[in-house]
């Protein structure tokens, strides 16, 4: 996305509170981000995209750029809260370690800004968006686009996942006055 040309302003009831949620799908080479504004009834996409790092760069440089990119997003868009994808099990220990380091860089950058961070398992995100925990990426992308009223073709997969994280947090936050919210990290 990255362009605000087709994002309509959000109209809300007088007494409703709009919150801005940053969803982050962290990875070393391509981290997805998605920002939404919501009052629990309406959802509006603010921006989404990916933070890319070159495979030619050493891991330390990728982590530095990732932390800097996330920090820049948070400072520029001033989210109220962050939704982050929780860890899941890998057969390959090296892959798990690399993703853990990328996630750590993201968490550290956001923690420095004193933002509350909530973690959601991939199945829970899919269930919140699609109603089915084993939904495929295409189904998640289509429903995210439908919920946010954005063209699905304009959004990269990692950004779609990040928007889905933000939607999941919004639904959890506004359902039963947030009683099902996980503890923040």
Domains of the chain, earliest start first: 19-174 (3.30.420.10)
12 pLDDT more than 80? no
Known catalytic membership, residue 112: no
Taken in order 159, 128, 71, 79, the sign of the CA dihedral is: positive
pLDDT bin (cut points 50, 70, 90) of residue 105 is very high
What's the chain's Rg over C-alpha atoms? 16
Stated pTM of the model: 0.89
pLDDT reading at 163 higher than 50: yes
Reported as a pLDDT band with limits 50, 70 and 90, residue 3 is very low
Q: Is 25 a catalytic residue?
A: yes
- Catalytic one of 39, 47, 85, 119: 85
| pLDDT computed for residue 4 by the predictor | 43
- Residue among 25, 37, 47, 119 flagged as catalytic: 25
pLDDT at 169: 95
pLDDT tens figures, 113-137: 999 999 999 999 999 999 888 888 8
Q: Of 27, 134, 37, which Cα lies nearest the Cα of 85?
A: 27
Residue 85 annotated in active site:
yes
The secondary structure of 104-159 as a DSSP string is HHHHHHHHHTT--EEEE-HHHHHHHHHS-TT--HHHHHHHHHHHHT--GGGS-HHH
Name the active-site residue from 39, 47, 158, 161. 158
């Amino acid at each position: 996305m990255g362009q605000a040309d087709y994002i309509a302003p959000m109209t809300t009831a007088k007494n409703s509170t709009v919150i801005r949620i940053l969803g982050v799908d962290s990875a070393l080479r391509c981290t997805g981000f998605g920002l939404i504004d919501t009052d629990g009834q309406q959802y509006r996409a603010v921006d989404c995209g990916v933070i890319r790092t070159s495979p030619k760069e050493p891991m330390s440089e990728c982590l530095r750029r990732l932390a800097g990119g996330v920090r820049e997003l948070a400072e520029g868009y001033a989210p109220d809260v962050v939704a982050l994808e929780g860890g899941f099990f890998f057969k390959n220990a090296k892959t798990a370690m690399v993703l853990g380091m990328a996630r750590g860089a993201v968490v550290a950058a956001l923690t420095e800004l004193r933002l509350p961070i909530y973690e959601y398992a991939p199945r829970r995100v899919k269930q919140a968006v699609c109603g089915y925990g084993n939904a495929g990426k295409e189904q998640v992308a289509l429903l995210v686009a439908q919920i946010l009223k954005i063209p699905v073709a304009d959004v990269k997969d990692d950004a779609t996942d990040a928007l889905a994280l933000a939607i999941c947090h919004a639904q959890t936050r506004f359902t039963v006055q947030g009683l099902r919210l996980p503890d923040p990290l």
